[in-house]
Amino acid sequence: MPIDPQIEAMFAGQPEWPPIRTQSIPDLRQAVRASATMLPPPPVTLASVHDRTIPGPAGAVPVRIYTPEGSGPFPVTCYFHGGGFVVGDLDTQDMIARGLAAGAETIVISVDYRLAPEHKFPAAPEDCWAAVQWAAANAASINGDASRLAVAGDSAGGVLANAMAIQAMEEGGPRLAAVINWYGPGVHPLPEGGSMAEFEHGPVLRADDVRYFHELYIERAEQDEDYRASAIKAKSHRGLPPHFIATAENDPARDAVEMYGPVLKDAGVEVEAKRYPGMIHGFMSWVGFLPGAQEAMADACNFLKRRFAAVGRAG
């Protein structure tokens, strides 16, 4: 499975990224932040971007609100960044949030949820759930339409987006229009073999990196049975909103992401699943310049717009 030539060119002559387990958490976070914030954002124009905090279960949760151009009221999408539940913040995936807001013509609320190992499971999904509830209750105050509410995320953020859809269903609302999941696994720990074996040594993300992030996040094995860690293990998936699931061809997590789609389809859930050839884990961060990432963004945005339109017609 050849890696996209543009990705290969990016890494040509660059020192190999060291295994995650060999780095201190502060150094890892600093390195990820430094590399991510150097990346160009997509060439889009937004009406406004502003930071604020919202109430959370353990104190204030920082969020960044992106508003597209136009008159509104706009659909609202809660977005959760990737980073193995250990790294990442409002800046590291700012480019994804910008592309989503402009492309889907939706307000995006990017959530700076608590990170492991300082805050282990279920701190992250608890913060994200607070954000979803806040969005539903306060959409009008940000020129949003609470009847058109979605969730989205990449990698760990995709796991969180999956979880929020299930939690909203189990708790009787808020009603979600769609779920966007860019390469977020449907089960933890990731099954060995398959793509975990095929891409044991990367590129970029290694199989042991995946295992280490899991060790830092999950304290007890029984927590992996919780749908907030493993969406596949929910008691029921019937009645969930439509899901868009994107995977990277060259990714140790690929199989664990793709196995969720058939489970959803068996429960009667609408699923659009697509594997992007030549891509590697984390490729959405290159949406500012990489055609494969731009395609995956456009596909997700088109999916969202269709779902928001369907909600509008039904309403």
Please confirm whether the linkage preceding 185 is cis (ω < 30° from 0): no
The total number of structural domains in the chain stands at 1
**311 has a pLDDT exceeding 80:** yes
What pLDDT does residue 14 have? 82
Enumerate residues 6+ apart whose C-beta is below 8 A from 129: 164, 167
Tell me the pLDDT of the chain averaged across its residues: 97
| pLDDT tens digits along 214-233 | 999 999 999 999 999 999 99
Residue 26: count of CB within 10 angstroms of its CB: 8
| pLDDT tens digits along 154-210 | 999 999 999 999 999 999 999 999 999 999 999 999 999 999 999 999 999 999 999
| pLDDT tens digits along 36-54 | 999 999 999 999 999 999 9
- pLDDT average, residue stretch 105-129: 98
1 band by pLDDT with thresholds 50, 70 and 90: low
pTM of the model: 0.98
What pLDDT does residue 252 have? 98
Cβ atoms of 145 and 119 within 8 Å: the answer is no
Looking at the annotation, which residues are catalytic?
155
**How are the residues of the chain apportioned to helix, strand and coil, as percentages rounded to the nearest 5?**
40, 20, 35
State the CATH number of the domain containing residue 144.
3.40.50.1820
What pLDDT does residue 13 have? 79
Report the share of the chain in percent with pLDDT over 70: 99
**SS3 label, residue 121:** coil
**16 has a pLDDT exceeding 90:** no
What pLDDT does residue 17 have? 83
Structural domain of residue 263, as residue ranges? 5-314
- pLDDT average, residue stretch 269-281: 98
272 band by pLDDT with thresholds 50, 70 and 90: very high
Which of 14, 69, 12 is closest to 46 using CA atoms?
69
Residues in the chain: 315
What pLDDT does residue 314 have? 72
Which of 271, 284, 294 is closest to 186 using CA atoms?
271
What pLDDT does residue 11 have? 87
